[in-house]
Structure 1
Amino acid sequence: MAHLLTRILWALVVGMLLSERLMGWADDLDHATLEGFVLDPTDAAIPGARITLIERQTGMQRTGESDGRGWYRITALAPGAYRLRAEAPGFSPLEYPELPLRAGHTQRLDVRLRPGSLIEVVTVTDVETIAPTRTVVGLSLRSEEIEALPLNGRNPLDLVFLFASVQAEPFETRDLGDPATRDVVPAPPQEAGIFSLSGGRAYSNNITIDGFDNNDDRAARERAIPSLESIAEVQIITNQYSAEYGRASGGRINVFTRRGGNQFRGAIFGDFQDESLNANSFFRNARGQKRAPFQRREYGGRLGGPIRRDRLFFFGVVERQEEPDTDAIIALLPVDPRANPAYPLQETPTGRPFVRDGVPVALFEEEVSAPGQRTYVSDRLDAAFGTAHQLVFRFDATRTNRLRARDQGATLREGLVNRRRDSLAHAVQDTWVLGPRLLNQFRFQYSALTPTATPSQARPGVIVGSSRGTTLPVASGFIAGAAGFPETRVERRFQWADVLTGQWGRHTLKLGADVMHLRSATRQLHLFFGFYNFPSFGDFIASTPSRYRQRIGEPEQPIRNTILGGFLQEEWRARPNLTLTFGLRYDRETLLDRDKNNLGPRLALAWAPGPRAKTVIRSGVGIFYNRVLLRTIEDFAVQSRLFELDLGSGPGATGRIEELNRIGGFPNIFPNDPTHPLVRDLIRPIRNTRSLSPDLRIPYSLQSSLGIERQFGRTLALEISYVFNRTLRLWRDRNVNAPIPPPGGFVAFLLDPPENFPGVVRAPDGKTAFDNSARQIADVGVRFVRFDLSATRSRDIGSGANRIRIYGLNALGGGATTTDPVLAALNAVRWLRPNPDLGEVEQLQSDGQATYHGLNVLASARLARRLWVRASYTLSKLIDLVDVNTSSPQDEFNFALERGLGRTDERHRFVLSGTLAMPKVLGGWEL
């Protein structure tokens, strides 16, 4: 079906291109456009009229000229307030002193000149509330609206949730708990993304600043968060049909920054929060504890002004955020910190002692300082070289430090990870009017990103659990050492983009290319320090782990990726009230060299029936390709050059736990040398257990929409739209070495193993059982193993050489490996795997799908001079086969069972926002 639609769209585009002598481009989301007719008092066209636009803030000018039909059009205008002057020989000049223009908006303004020589001044009182030529689905927020809305944490990306068709990312945990217990809640996968737009994957959005890339392709999030003080406007585009924009099968968030002007203007701000208005957590209330201490301090300012009047301007922002925060550690520890002298602990528990697994233990609770700081600096220079040439230089830098634990509150102080994230970007944009009908825009950006996660202590990681659960899961044991996910990353990105725009009659033409080259080097140090698992406190005291893992080899993994994009687009004004847009885009990434046919045709229309254009009908359809997620590629492909050492009794272990005797046992680690005699026979390449499918492709979506917008009066606008989003080739993780279901199923196989099957023998009682003579099923000195349907973890029958271990399939797994029924069952089905010598073998495949249907209703109005309101409602349904790009199916042999409501499905969502300005007599406050 998708291939058929692709052919149909391609045929439509080619047919239109062949039918027109000239082709064109428009729907510029980064800039504003002004168009209209120049007419005399009899509505006759005035050709050759000169239209001059002067930006009120900077004095920068752009000019245009009406054609034989009296039609003029000025594109690629920076959003802001302008002064317009219209002149023609024999007619009085006409001036509009105040004309506001918004990014992504085409403003229609018909100019009527009168014979004579006197200058006539006209005040614009009826600026369009709706955009008759807009084809995208979304909204924009200007700086006045942004400043009026309270944002906890001052993150401008939170503004997207003002649109009802925006959903939070899968497994999101924002605003859960308080600073002292938030680490109890498992964090969402790093590649889950940050929000979903109209059913798109939460990791499939394109975030830009002034049109420049602002994405972290590894973590599926933004590279940098700009300060609210630097923002002039935020666009939230849920469905975009302009071929100029790519690298997103979801939506696009574009942030426009402020500029300096001919007057010096600035502001300073300061925010303060503490725990007094926070709710206490369930666990702290249960223990009779007060709220955890918390503070957040934010302060900074902005300043802009002229360096040379009407020619050169500057704008700068500095912002600082400080959180002298706390983390709560709640763990179960041995009463004696030196109970195992080989691995002494620094903490002494203060709770009431009791015996667990034969060891005196007690509860340990501590509030540790976990400070966080963030500093943001941004500078911008705008230069004008006459009316035809403008340059913009922009720089931003962010430095973030935060001390945080892993995903469990049982992580001791030494296991805390210091997370630092530094980013910077240098960007230049050149806008050059080459003639009355030709304009060129060139962009270049260099950006760098260096996130690091450094462990507080570099000794081997240890996790100590319990063979029995407790009331509070965070207090069933402890985690110590380098048990987190330490890593360092250095990313360098170069971006070149050029767009050529031409206008011929009713056609606006665009041709452009966007090239990015990315260099990334990541050092993932997880497991390089060694990691020991102890199922019980008794095992920890005795230094007898159940499992030991370590990675061997060079941890630095370099990646080179060149991202190519090119597009063709024509905007055809078929009639004054009918706009058709045809486009074709091509995307390719060298990291997936086999995926070369990513053609995305796009078609959209906007029709404003009636003479006053108070109603607009919009529709569009297109194919949109996403981008490669570097973290997933690194995990499945780049890391394949590493080796793994996994000692234990689980499926796929590279050796038995007794091999630790080679290095003197716990807490020592093996040499980081794959050729060393101590390790070379105990390791295997990670590529044996993780790989990329040879058919892996970039995900793409087929999007379509149909909507109607109506303006009532001067300030009320109502828009209703239907959105369809079908996403294909979604990535997911599959175990290609899963045991093949035997006749009758796994349960029947385990309860009554067939004779003459590998690993099945006759027990002394004459019935079949699994052979455990080499401890291949369970690490116990029992030769025979069976299973039943009881809820008992394990029990023995018989004695001596005739003893049989029986595991209950309805018992809980985990805990001690000798009594774990799940581990025993996985070992028992080993010979049902395609490769019995390996356990799980993960392969990244691109066969996931998702389907979204959404009905959006958006209303905005200025109900009075002091009251502005926006209401948004979405009725939607999302069905998919995969949650995130590393999700695994529950049944490897029946993917249809994965079909269900998506994690980001929200059937109903309503958002209400607005501002109310109080009278001056009440202080002039704004709510």
Structure 2
Amino acid sequence: MTGIDFDFLFRLDDLLRSSRRTARPRLVPLAAALALLFCLIRATAEAQALGELKGMVQDPTGSGVPNARLKLQNRSTSEESAAAADGTGQFEFTGLPLGHYILKVKAQGFEEAEVPVSVHADPGRPIQVRLEVAEDATQVDVTARLHSAPSAQDNLDAIPIDRGWLQNLPVKERDPLAVASLFTDPATARIGGPKIIVDGVESDGLDLPVSAIKTININQNPYSAEWARPGKGRLEVTTRKGSSRHYGGLLMYTLDNWRLDARDAFAPSRPPKQHGVWEGQLDGPAWKNVKFFIAGQYFVHQNSYAVTAQTPDALIMTNYGAPVRRTNLLGRLDFRPSPTTKFIFRYKFRDVSQRNQGVRGFNLPERAFDIFKREHQLYLSYLSTLSPAFLNELRLKVVHNSDEDYSRTDEPAIVVPGAFSGGGAQASLRLRENGGELADVATYIRGNHTMRFGAGLRPRIFSTYDAANFGGTFKFSSLASFTEGLPEVFTINQGNPQVYYHRQEFYSFFQDEVRLGSNLSVLMGLRYELQSNISHYNNFAPRLAFAYAPGGRRTVLRGGAGIFYNRQPPEMQEQTLLHDGRHLREVVISHAGFPSP
């Protein structure tokens, strides 16, 4: 624009100078007309080169954030414009030169956000800037969405359990599931319990230090097509991230001693039980644009169980110790190389040692067996804001699990109902699992539509060695038959206890929330799931939900329906392979000899 304007003025100046020597009286009106025309063209061009930017600042739930402070920086000239959101989170910038900008948003109790935006000549649709709650926030100001349609994805009876609940409630053994499981559907106990989702990825358990958990949400968006379970059948867990401003730490110890407990009625004395939990955390900025969070938990359970058994020689009443040790570690790095991209690296370690298990009641100490479990998990998330209306997240999880059970002795088991159980526990298990998950999920907002779609793949490889009851089990009908050495039956497993198998689980989904006017929104979705070990492919799961606010909007009617599939657990495939007639066989001998059948 500057070069063209200068060239035009130069030519006009030449024309005026030449006119003085030729036909000056006739060209003066012409020059004035040309100058007036130039001013009109320039004013029109400048008016056309300006645009505006409108939008709304929202909290993680979609509610408006009032009084947020905004700065708009031009990428080319670095010029800045400032504005503030109103009481409902709405903001507006006017008179902006066309081009590309960086929008910076600050609000009390929220993390600062930077979003790339573009200003065009034609007014675009309002943008939405969603803020994350700051880790060290003590106060957050939000406003109710009185002037927007109720969202079908929101659920007012959703139960958020934040860090304050988890830290202050007297939870047994510092187990976060002890509180969260109280609010899930009891029917999930028949299908392995609620599905646990940690940072958007399914997990087999919640083996995390309590201080590493930011929130646990139950019954949030019950009919979402993104998940395989309904709202009360899953726990959505978000882990904490470090602070970008200061360093912080925590160290605590919880003790429960046996001297404060009552005596077991079947024990001769109070057993020396003791529960101790060490837990600590450290977080803060690592270097530029990187923050870290580290948390650890060490649990020691000096448990003891009462043994009350009648053997041919004597009545046994004693306490037997069964110590449990558990270590949980979590480390997380958050790296934001630019305002539009973010990386999350997370590593989780779990180690469990349970000794002298199974000794209680009629089971004698010789029936003890040990359990050892270990897990390594690596998680990577790449979050990209392609535009204010399009957000994409790529997630990757890699897992290695091991589970081992060993009997203290390999002697044949002896079972005398109502009297005692002795011999070896006949437990011998070695399980290895290598697997993970790769998923990509995107959110796109266009007009009154909020669309979310994605797909994921879970490959899993298993190696199982299950030599249970390879030493055999004698079962007697009574203590008298044991004294006479007359077992009722003898059972023993033989064959090859080693199996290898793998499976792939695939899923995809699409859902769209449509706001129909100011008092109605409808969520429509479809999910598809597939397991490689099952030859059934018609696994389409439609979902539908609505939210309607009639009259004065003080009442919101919500409803929904959907089809949900439960995946076949790996144990079913494992047992099918072990008992296929080629690997394991069970030998049953009635009235066998004793001690040699």
Spell out, residue by residue over 1:60-105, the C-alpha distance to the aligned partner (whole angstroms, 9 max, x if none).
5346689958633235x5444799xxxxxxxxxxxxx97568xxxx
Code of the aligned partner of 2:368? L
Whether the 8 Å contact between 1:33 and 1:74 is mirrored in structure 2 is no
Aligned pairs for 1:642-791 within 5 A: 642-649=583-590, 657=591, 666-667=595-596
Residues 1:245 and 2:227 are matched in the alignment:
yes
User: 2:114 aligns to what?
Assistant: 61
* Mapped partners of 1:636, 1:586: distance in 2: 26
* Mapped partners of 2:249, 2:486: distance in 1: 65
After TM superposition, give the deviation of residue 273 of structure 1 in Å.
0.3
Aligned pairs for 1:220-299 within 5 A: 222=205, 224-237=206-219, 240-246=222-228, 251-262=233-244, 263-284=246-267, 289-299=268-278
Code of the aligned partner of 2:158? G
Whether the 8 Å contact between 1:585 and 1:600 is mirrored in structure 2 is yes
Structure 1 vs Structure 2 CA RMSD: 3.6
Partner secondary structure for residue 241 of structure 1: coil
User: 2:290 aligns to what?
Assistant: 312
Residues 1:620 and 2:583 are matched in the alignment:
no
Code of the aligned partner of 1:391? F
User: 2:162 aligns to what?
Assistant: 142
Partner secondary structure for residue 324 of structure 1: strand
Code of the aligned partner of 2:207? I
Code of the aligned partner of 2:249? G
* Mapped partners of 1:496, 1:575: distance in 2: 38
Which piece of structure 1 moves more, 52-61 or 390-399? 52-61
Residues 1:326 and 2:289 are matched in the alignment:
no
Code of the aligned partner of 2:198? I
Whether the 8 Å contact between 2:255 and 2:274 is mirrored in structure 1 is yes
Whether the 8 Å contact between 1:392 and 1:430 is mirrored in structure 2 is yes
After TM superposition, give the deviation of residue 297 of structure 1 in Å.
0.6
User: 2:347 aligns to what?
Assistant: 395
* Mapped partners of 2:436, 2:135: distance in 1: 33
* Mapped partners of 1:563, 1:237: distance in 2: 24
After TM superposition, give the deviation of residue 494 of structure 1 in Å.
1.3
Residues 1:518 and 2:455 are matched in the alignment:
no
Inter-CA distance 162–412: structure 2 relative to 1 (3 Å threshold): closer
Aligned residues: 510
User: 1:126 aligns to what?
Assistant: none
Spell out, residue by residue over 1:819-874, the C-alpha distance to the aligned partner (whole angstroms, 9 max, x if none).
xxxxxxxxxxxxxxxxxxxxxxxxxxxxxxxxxxxxxxxxxxxxxxxxxxxxxxxx
* Mapped partners of 1:290, 1:479: distance in 2: 23
Aligned pairs for 1:431-580 within 5 A: 431-465=383-417, 473=418, 476=419, 478-580=420-522
User: 1:179 aligns to what?
Assistant: none
Partner secondary structure for residue 213 of structure 1: strand
Aligned pairs for 1:300-449 within 5 A: 300-309=279-288, 311-335=289-313, 362-406=314-358, 409-449=361-401
Partner secondary structure for residue 503 of structure 1: strand
* Mapped partners of 2:585, 2:481: distance in 1: 24
Whether the 8 Å contact between 1:33 and 1:107 is mirrored in structure 2 is no
Partner secondary structure for residue 482 of structure 1: coil
After TM superposition, give the deviation of residue 503 of structure 1 in Å.
1.6
After TM superposition, give the deviation of residue 210 of structure 1 in Å.
1.1
Whether the 8 Å contact between 1:45 and 1:68 is mirrored in structure 2 is no
* Mapped partners of 1:429, 1:100: distance in 2: 29
Whether the 8 Å contact between 2:346 and 2:379 is mirrored in structure 1 is yes
Partner secondary structure for residue 167 of structure 2: helix
TM-score of the superposition, structure 1-length normalised?
A: 0.50
After TM superposition, give the deviation of residue 507 of structure 1 in Å.
1.1
After TM superposition, give the deviation of residue 571 of structure 1 in Å.
1.3
Whether the 8 Å contact between 1:40 and 1:46 is mirrored in structure 2 is no
Spell out, residue by residue over 1:319-368, the C-alpha distance to the aligned partner (whole angstroms, 9 max, x if none).
11111222322222233xxxxxxxxxxxxxxxxxxxxxxxxxx1022322
User: 1:159 aligns to what?
Assistant: 179
Residues 1:596 and 2:579 are matched in the alignment:
no
* Mapped partners of 1:51, 1:579: distance in 2: 29
Match of 2:203 among 214, 223, 226: 214
After TM superposition, give the deviation of residue 266 of structure 1 in Å.
1.2
User: 2:27 aligns to what?
Assistant: none
* Mapped partners of 2:317, 2:221: distance in 1: 49
* Mapped partners of 1:508, 1:108: distance in 2: 17
User: 1:52 aligns to what?
Assistant: 104
Code of the aligned partner of 1:580? V
Partner secondary structure for residue 601 of structure 1: strand
Whether the 8 Å contact between 1:248 and 1:626 is mirrored in structure 2 is no
Partner secondary structure for residue 424 of structure 2: coil
Partner secondary structure for residue 448 of structure 1: strand
Whether the 8 Å contact between 1:570 and 1:583 is mirrored in structure 2 is yes
Partner secondary structure for residue 282 of structure 1: coil
* Mapped partners of 1:518, 1:305: distance in 2: 35
* Mapped partners of 2:159, 2:574: distance in 1: 36
Spell out, residue by residue over 1:400-451, the C-alpha distance to the aligned partner (whole angstroms, 9 max, x if none).
1112443752222221111122122100011001123222100000112212
Higher relative contact order (CA 8 A, sep 6+): 1
Partner secondary structure for residue 385 of structure 1: strand
* Mapped partners of 1:519, 1:64: distance in 2: 45
Inter-CA distance 65–461: structure 2 relative to 1 (3 Å threshold): farther
Inter-CA distance 154–206: structure 2 relative to 1 (3 Å threshold): same
Which has the higher Rg, Structure 1 or Structure 2?
2
* Mapped partners of 2:233, 2:506: distance in 1: 19
Whether the 8 Å contact between 1:34 and 1:109 is mirrored in structure 2 is no
Inter-CA distance 107–400: structure 2 relative to 1 (3 Å threshold): farther
User: 1:805 aligns to what?
Assistant: none
* Mapped partners of 2:516, 2:168: distance in 1: 41
Whether the 8 Å contact between 1:390 and 1:432 is mirrored in structure 2 is yes
Whether the 8 Å contact between 2:103 and 2:114 is mirrored in structure 1 is no
* Mapped partners of 1:479, 1:368: distance in 2: 15
Aligned pairs for 1:198-209 within 5 A: 201-203=190-192, 205-209=194-198
Partner secondary structure for residue 568 of structure 2: coil
After TM superposition, give the deviation of residue 572 of structure 1 in Å.
1.1
User: 1:73 aligns to what?
Assistant: 128
Code of the aligned partner of 2:415? I
Give the gaps of 5 or more residues in structure 2.
1-58, 67-83, 97-101
* Mapped partners of 2:232, 2:146: distance in 1: 33
Whether the 8 Å contact between 1:32 and 1:79 is mirrored in structure 2 is no
Inter-CA distance 392–480: structure 2 relative to 1 (3 Å threshold): same
Code of the aligned partner of 1:52? K
Whether the 8 Å contact between 2:408 and 2:425 is mirrored in structure 1 is no
* Mapped partners of 1:436, 1:239: distance in 2: 23
After TM superposition, give the deviation of residue 46 of structure 1 in Å.
4.5
After TM superposition, give the deviation of residue 644 of structure 1 in Å.
2.6
Partner secondary structure for residue 527 of structure 1: coil
Inter-CA distance 542–249: structure 2 relative to 1 (3 Å threshold): farther
* Mapped partners of 1:603, 1:582: distance in 2: 5
* Mapped partners of 1:150, 1:243: distance in 2: 35
